[in-house]
Every structure is written in structure tokens, then in C-alpha cells.
Structure 1
Amino acid sequence: MPAKSRRPVKGASAPAPAAESGTPADVVAGTGTLPRRSDGPQVRPKNGLDRYFEVSARRSTVGREVRGGFTTFFTMVYIVLLNPIILTSIPGLDGTLGADVSGTVLPFPAIAAVTALIAGVMTILMGVVGRYPFAVAAGLGINAIVAVFAATQLSWPEIMGLIVLEGLLITVLVLTGFRRAVFEAIPPQLKTAIAVGIGFFLTIIGLADAGIIRPGIPLISFGVNGQLAGWPILTFIVGLLLMSVLVVRKVRGGLLIGIVATTVLAIIIEAIADIGPRISNGEEVNPRGWALQVPALPEDVVSTPDLSLLGNVSLFGGFERIGVLAAVLIVFSLMIADFFDTVGTVTAVGAEGNLLDKDRNLPRSQPVLLVDSLAAAAGGAGSVSSNTTYIESASGVADGARTGLASVVTGVLFLVTMFLSPLVLVVPSEAAAPALVIVGALMISQIRHLAWDDLSLVIPAFLAIALMPFTYSITNGIGAGVISFVLLRLAVGRRGDIHPLMWVISVLFLIYFALEPLQQLL
């Protein structure tokens, strides 16, 4: 356990109260554990499954966990299609999309199948070992970085080998207790800001997935040429209104009901209007089309998964191709992104489910962090990029999930996706995006716990909140918040508020932000 700071941080946030629909009202706020005997009667587990996952202890039910697992799955299953799109979207040196420096292109169906396989296995492992409702899949942002490195510097086996190494390095940090110590060293005020920032991040992801906001001039544009045009956008709006009503009315499973109902509406609209996709071959060809999946009923429901990419890695080939120092910098950048993305996600999802303790830490976090680090290595070993804990897990938590049983359900659904991908991918992003916006709103409500009367705390919190959605990166937001927190607490003479590890984290982030000029010097 890390040493405590000598003085408490002024304005440290209090545990968040119980929140949204589907949340058991009698959960002890901020703990996520069984109440003390003095707080009320003990809850007897109904069976071995209940006892192991602490379903009754966390004031949940098996039905809630199953429902939450389905909700999480439907809000993140898009990764099965999006991950291969991203990994094959960067032109190689010869101009071929998805080609690495040797001209090799990873097969799209194989990426999709292994993406589902690794997500399924690691999410089940997260549920069984971590016993929290966190789902795992290929990390967005990291996969884009991987695609760029493959197109410009490394072969696919070489870059995936570096991902395996960074995952193993993080695993070592977990086993030594360093990763948990870093998690607990971040002050409560900044942890609250991280949760709020991720709420805004989820919101902007949802709006972008629905086509409400798009790249434009000067920065982003509203809909299609400033108008809410097209049936897909209307589908999103209907879904958002429906889910809002269900959540406000505290209908159990409101988010899941909304996703299913909106998907049915989308299928009907596509069958009548034949809208088609918005993007083809990496270019927007139909501004009024569906953002990712076209909600059309498939001719074939069952597909045979292609798992040929498993084990296609070269652990040290990257060091030979680009040199030791350049390879080490790539591993470092991937490790920092993986490391702190998980810190932010676990904090935010844990806060949403009232699973954190009074210091805004997750009880028994070590197994969660261990599975997450192994998932990074597993993603590299499967040639589908680093896997990490997904912020979309918050949607399942918002629908009632409180235990690892929900993760087991989500993981099983990912494994089923390998064989039923044509059917599962009928759900368009416009049907899942409203759930992300709703969950974003619920998470943003924690902003009331920030200490607004102390600018030396407000400015770091604001930077963390603002940079997450504006840079599309949880890591960037945490880095800006940590560096500014250390600087400003030092400036106001509150050195004792700075945990010793915060100095180490600040230096690591300074190096991380300076990686580009460092790489140019090599």
C-alpha cells in the first residue's frame, strides 16, 4: 500500500450517491459491498453462484446481471466490425490500405473473428477473476496508433509483438503492486474529474456514432451540412427520446429495451428506404447513410470464424527492424496509454455503480488490473491490437449490473458473435449510441462533488475533464490533470497534498507528451 499524504486534499469529493434507474436503492453508497451488520440485516447468498459473485451482497439479482451484460454487449459489439476497419484503413508505403511495411494486409474476416474471441475470453476472465462488471475488448485509439506504426515502420507480427511485450510489462507492474499504488495515489478530486471527463467522452462518442457531430470546418459540424438530415439520425433521436423516457420512468432494463426497439425501427427503415452505408473504403460516400453497420437482416445467420491470426507475432523483430531505442519508445507510449486508460475507466465505471470506497478506490482492484494487463498481451498475441477495459461497461452498470456475472454474460455473447456475426452486427451504431449519451449524462452528474472554491484543484480537474472528449483520449486528460495538480499544489504551498508517486506519474506523462520530438531526434 502506498504511503498516505501528510495532509488531506482540501475539497476531496464525497462518495457519489446511488444513481440511475435499475440501481438498487439500498446499496451502501461508495462501497459496492455488503453493509455492516449495524447498517442493516445481512443478506444470505441464495446459492454458490450468488455467493461467488456476491450478487445479493451488492443488492443485485441474477436477472439484473444478465440484463446488464446484454446492455454492455450491445453498446460495444461495434468493435467487432470497427477494429478490422481501423486496422486496415491506413495506406501502406505502396498505397495499399492496411498494408504493413512488407506489403501484408491482415484479412478482414480474421480480424473480426479474433477480435470477438479475445474480447469474449478476457471479458469472461474479468468476470470470474475480477468479479466486477467490466468488459474487455480491443482498445480504440491504441489500434489506430498500431495501424500507423504498421503502415510506416513495422510489419504486423512485429508491432503485435511489441504489444505483447507492453502487456507483459504492465502485468509485472501489477504483480509488484505498482499499478494499484498508482491508482490509489491519484487524489479523490482528480478521480471525480476523471469520471466526469469520461462522461463527456462517452457523450461525444455517442453523438459521433450517430452522425449528430462530424468532422467539419473549423473543427466539427452539426449533422449533414448543419442540418439533422437522414433517417439514421432520426433513428438515433427516436432512440434517445425513448431511452430517456424509460430511464426517467425507472423502467427496469430501459437501456436494453431502447437498444432493441431502436434496432427494430432501423431494420424497418432500411428495408423500406434502402439507405446503405455512410462510409465505403474509408471514404464518406453517403452522408445520410448508416454510420457503421447497415441494419439489414442477413441471408446467412451462421458463419465459420477464421482464427488464423492467433500467434502470428514476432516478439523482438521490431527491435531488429527499427532499433532498440525506437522500439522501446513505442512500447512506452503504448504502455502509458493502456495503463492510464484503465485507471480512468475503472474509476468512472466504479463510481457509476457506487463500487468505490471512501477514497474513490476500487476494493479488490488487483485481480481487475491483472486481467486487464493480460488482456493487452492477449490482444497482441491474437494480432488484433491491445485489449483493455471498456468504458461502455458503464451502460451495463447503468442498467443494474454490479458483479462479474454481467461480464460473464457479455463475454459469452462475444464468443457467440464469432459464429453469429451476421445476425449480431444487424444492430446499428445509431441504436447503441443513445445509451452512451444517457450514461454520459449520468456520469457527468458527479461534477457536483468537485471543490469549486479552490482554483488549484479546479484547474487540474477542468483540464482532465476538457481534454478527454476534445482529444478523444482518456490518457491525455489524466496526464494534463496530474501534471497541473502537482504544479499548482506546489505553487500554493501544499506540497504535503502531493503523494510521492504523483511526482513519478508526472515525470512519466511529461516523457509521454514529449515522445514525438524524441522520436524525431532518433
Structure 2
Amino acid sequence: MAYVLLVNPHILGKPHTGLEPTDVVVGTAVASALGSFLVGYFANLPFGLAPGLGLSAYLSYGLVKGHGLPWEGAMTSAFIAGAVMTLLAVTHMSNYAMRWIPTTIKIATVIGMGLLLTFIGMQSIQLVVGAGDDSLVKLGPLDRVDLWISLAGLMLLATLTHHQIKGAVVIGIFIITIIMWALTNSWPSQVVEVPAESPGVWKSATQLHLVWDSLGNYVSGIAAFLLVGVFDVSGVMFGLAHLANLHKEEADGHVIVPKSEVVFFAAGVSTMVAACLGCSPIIVHIESAAGIKEGSRTGLSSCVVSMWFLLSLFFAPLLGSIPQEATAPVVILIGASMMGQASEIDWQQMRVAVPAFLTLSLMPFTFSIPNGIAFGLVSNMILHVTCGVWFAEEEKYEQVSGSEGGPTIEAGRTLSYGTAGTPTQMPRSASTASFEGYMRSPTFVLRKEEYTGPRTQL
């Protein structure tokens, strides 16, 4: 995650905005440390928080350069979006946002994140480059030593991981870095630097800056930051929890992440702090998958990430000298490890397959996690109606009053879903044995292990 300390200042700093790059470094490190600590200490989850570079680019190129907003106004939009996200967390409305996203979309998000990470890694070492024609991308030049060193590093990482060597990722980065430094004679000339933030940044950023004739741009900025923040945090959080096996399935079939509201709260609060320090909104970083891959399962890792973000303020020159040839193999390896979730999607049902495919494919193709989630959700809702699932659910149960006043079902009208996914009538004499051939369907809420009472009881 340390790369954000080096890249974010180049996006948010001069000449794109009026912010000094050193001020952005301070804001990035402090806000990331705060968000990571809140998640680690109060939620006990291994998720690191830091600015989203996509949001940084939107703030700098979209709001400031595109719409002509002053950087103080763009920070005001980010601050308000963070406040709303915090309110959603405090009122537990964020949990409803998590439950509203279908499980299929959440699983596809994991795969899409892996594809996006892989695409970023391949681009960084120019294994994939722009084609300059209608094909858009192509294979990069292969006559480069640095490319083959990076690919050899990928093989090294895969081998170390296969043999379950502890610290495989760190060992791989260290070896490749030393090789690249020796090959290019680019040993770091400076290790420690003390950054200092300009006194005027806090004063300027904490004063709400609204220009009424540009109110529409402020509203669009707030909406964009909020929607992307909610989608990004919820999607990435589920993906990481699934990778770490920290998710939990409720009785109604919804898959949740325990204490997810704390993650939303941490993202919202740290976004407000970031805006006051001249930094872009804070999200859950998908690079947290690197720590999960190494075995982190508790908030201790997030607290350690927080500590390193604070200490890294003084070691930015050293971190900046680590070549991308050493970090790209890690990103590609993580992307490969996230492909296994594809087997959990029912690709035989088009109403499930199409939304899942749109979700996972649009993330790398549009370079945006929220884009994939948005298209997946909309297509899922449309197919939910056009494929008759909505109407099947309406006719699934005929509820009548039971002897104890609770809901019961007339067994002759209950629909059972078989392996082909087609509804069939369950006979009135059905018993618990009728569930032996049952394969779970998203449109059928009663599972075999939940059927413990009389045959007519829900």
C-alpha cells in the first residue's frame, strides 16, 4: 500500500491543484493511519485504508481542472461525502447497503478485483501496452531485461507461495529490488526525510468553500464521492473478507461482513480528516489482499499498517526507490489467487451469469470497481423481472394462519428447485426427505439445514 504515499502527491499536488506535494504526503499518511487503526482496533479486521487513486484523479482532473472548482471546494465536497458516509454507518444504514447487493455480484466483485489488479500490474511493467489503434492494447516489447526480471520474480513468488514460505511476498520484493538496484546502479541516495505541512493547508481546507454559481458541480462531486465510496468500500470489503474467509452467512441467505459498519465509519471519519489535510477520500485498499495472502486475519495487521503509515512519512525517499519491477509480480500473484471464486457462480443460469460477467469484466475494462458493481446491480434487477424470478417469488408460498399464529405453508403450492433450476410442484405428502436432492437457488429461501420443524412450518 506504500505506493499511495508516492503516487497520490503527483496526482493531487501542483500543478494540477494549488497543493504542495509534501502537504499531500502528510495528509495521505495521517488519514490512512487513522482509518487503518479504527478498522483494526474496533472492528478487528485485517483491512488497510488509504486514499483511492481513482478518487484522487476525479478530484484533481474532474472537479478542479474539469469543472474549475478551487481545490478548497473539491475538498469541501469530499468532506461532506465523508460526513454522510459516517452518518450511514452510525445509523446502520450501511448494513442495508451491504445486504442490498446480491451475493452473486459480491462474488463477481472478487474476481473483477483480481482482474483489475492483474491489469495494473501488467501495465506497470509494460507487459501490456496501448496499441494506438482500434485494438486498444497489445503485448509490450519483450526485448527488455527488466521485464524478464519481473516475470522471473513472479515465478519466484509463485514457487515460494507454493511451498508456504512465510514472508514469501516480502522475500520476493527484497530479492528483485536488490537485483534491479545493482543492474541499474540506482541505489537510494537518501533514506530519511522529515516532511512538513504548510500551515495554511489546514486553515484553507477546514473552511467550507461553496461558490453558489457552481453549486451543481459541488452536488455532483459529493454524489460521486459518496456513491463511489459506498460501492467501493462495500465491494472491496466483501472481496477481502471472502478471501480471508471472514464473511458470515445469515439464516436468510445474506452474506455479511461482521462489524462492517465500523469499516464505513472509519472510511467516513478518515475521509473528513483527509479533506482537512488536503487529501482525497479514503477507501479500503484492495492491496490489503497481500497481507491476507500472508495470513493476516485480525485487526493486528491493520494496526501495524497504521503504524507504518506514520513512520513512512520519514522514509518516503527509500520507499520511492523500490522499483515497480519488484511490486508488479506481487499484484499479478494476488490477482491469480482471486480467480478461484469463479467456481461459485452458476454460469448455466443467464440471469445470474450476465450480471456477474458484467461486474467482473467492466472493472478491468473501465479501470473502475464501482463501474462494474453498478452495471452488475442494474442488470441483475432487470433480469430479476424479465426472467420471471419476481413473479415466481410472488407465487412461491401461500401463507395461512397456523395453530400458534405463526406463518405456515400449504405444501401443495410450495415450489421446489431441482438441479436444473426449474420450479416443480412439491406433493402434499412431502417430508424432510424431499430436500435431499435440493440444490440451493438464489430464489429459494428455505434450505435443508433450516428445515427442522413440522413439514408445514417455515
Under a length normalisation based on structure 2, what TM-score does the superposition of the two structures give? 0.80
Whole-Å separation in 2 of the counterparts to 1:258 and 1:364 = 34
**CA 1:444/1:310 → structure 2, altered by over 3 Å: closer, same or farther?**
farther
Give the corresponding residue for 2:5: 80
Work out which of the residue numbers 205, 216, 221 in structure 1 matches 2:120. 205
CA contact 2:150–2:326 (8 Å) conserved in 1: yes
**CA 1:393/1:385 → structure 2, altered by over 3 Å: closer, same or farther?**
same
Whole-Å separation in 2 of the counterparts to 1:430 and 1:154 = 37
Give the corresponding residue for 1:399: 294
Give the corresponding residue for 1:144: 57
Q: Give the C-alpha shift of residue 497 in structure 1.
A: 8.8
| Alignment pair present for 1:313 and 2:205 | yes
Write the mapping of 1:57-206 to structure 2, written as runs, cut at 5 A.
Answer: 76-88=1-13, 97-99=15-17, 105-148=18-61, 149-152=63-66, 153-206=68-121
3-state SS, counterpart of residue 419 of structure 1: coil
Whole-Å separation in 2 of the counterparts to 1:321 and 1:229 = 54
- Give deviations 1:419-454, integer Å, cap 9, x for gaps: 121122222222111111111111111100001121
What is the identity, as a one-letter code, of the residue corresponding to 1:468?
M
Q: Give the C-alpha shift of residue 397 in structure 1.
A: 0.2
Work out which of the residue numbers 123, 148, 152 in structure 2 matches 1:238. 152
CA contact 1:460–1:481 (8 Å) conserved in 2: yes
Computed over aligned residues only, the root mean square deviation of the Cα atoms, in angstroms, reads 2.0
| Structure 2: unaligned runs, 5 residues or longer | 395-458
CA contact 2:73–2:218 (8 Å) conserved in 1: no
Q: Give the C-alpha shift of residue 244 in structure 1.
A: 0.9
CA contact 1:197–1:469 (8 Å) conserved in 2: yes
Of residues 143-152 and 109-118 in structure 1, the stretch that sits farther from structure 2 once superposed is 109-118
Q: Give the C-alpha shift of residue 122 in structure 1.
A: 2.0
| Structure 1: unaligned runs, 5 residues or longer | 1-75, 90-96, 100-104, 272-295, 500-522
Q: Which has the larger radius of gyration?
A: 2
Aligned residue pairs, count: 385
Whole-Å separation in 2 of the counterparts to 1:84 and 1:185 = 35
Write the mapping of 1:243-254 to structure 2, written as runs, cut at 5 A.
Answer: 243-254=157-168
| Alignment pair present for 1:343 and 2:258 | no
Whole-Å separation in 2 of the counterparts to 1:326 and 1:250 = 51
Q: Give the C-alpha shift of residue 320 in structure 1.
A: 2.9
Of structures 1 and 2, the one scoring higher in RCO (CA 8 A, sep 6+) is: 1
Write the mapping of 1:327-338 to structure 2, written as runs, cut at 5 A.
Answer: 327-338=218-229
CA contact 2:6–2:316 (8 Å) conserved in 1: no
3-state SS, counterpart of residue 306 of structure 1: coil
Of residues 137-146 and 151-160 in structure 1, the stretch that sits farther from structure 2 once superposed is 151-160
CA contact 2:78–2:221 (8 Å) conserved in 1: no
Give the corresponding residue for 2:320: 425
CA contact 1:189–1:450 (8 Å) conserved in 2: yes
Whole-Å separation in 2 of the counterparts to 1:159 and 1:489 = 38
Give the corresponding residue for 1:322: 214
CA contact 2:85–2:264 (8 Å) conserved in 1: no
| Alignment pair present for 1:300 and 2:190 | yes
Q: Give the C-alpha shift of residue 300 in structure 1.
A: 2.9
Q: Percent identity?
A: 28
Whole-Å separation in 1 of the counterparts to 2:318 and 2:332 = 25
Under a length normalisation based on structure 1, what TM-score does the superposition of the two structures give? 0.70
Q: Give the C-alpha shift of residue 222 in structure 1.
A: 4.1
Whole-Å separation in 2 of the counterparts to 1:387 and 1:380 = 9
Q: Give the C-alpha shift of residue 414 in structure 1.
A: 1.2
| Alignment pair present for 1:459 and 2:384 | no
- Give deviations 1:278-298, integer Å, cap 9, x for gaps: xxxxxxxxxxxxxxxxxx333
What is the identity, as a one-letter code, of the residue corresponding to 1:360?
V
Whole-Å separation in 1 of the counterparts to 2:34 and 2:129 = 34
| Alignment pair present for 1:378 and 2:270 | no
3-state SS, counterpart of residue 86 of structure 2: helix
Whole-Å separation in 1 of the counterparts to 2:11 and 2:248 = 37
Write the mapping of 1:357-506 to structure 2, written as runs, cut at 5 A.
Answer: 357-358=248-249, 359-495=254-390
Q: Give the C-alpha shift of residue 498 in structure 1.
A: 9.2
Q: Give the C-alpha shift of residue 363 in structure 1.
A: 1.5
Give the corresponding residue for 1:92: none
Q: Give the C-alpha shift of residue 132 in structure 1.
A: 0.6
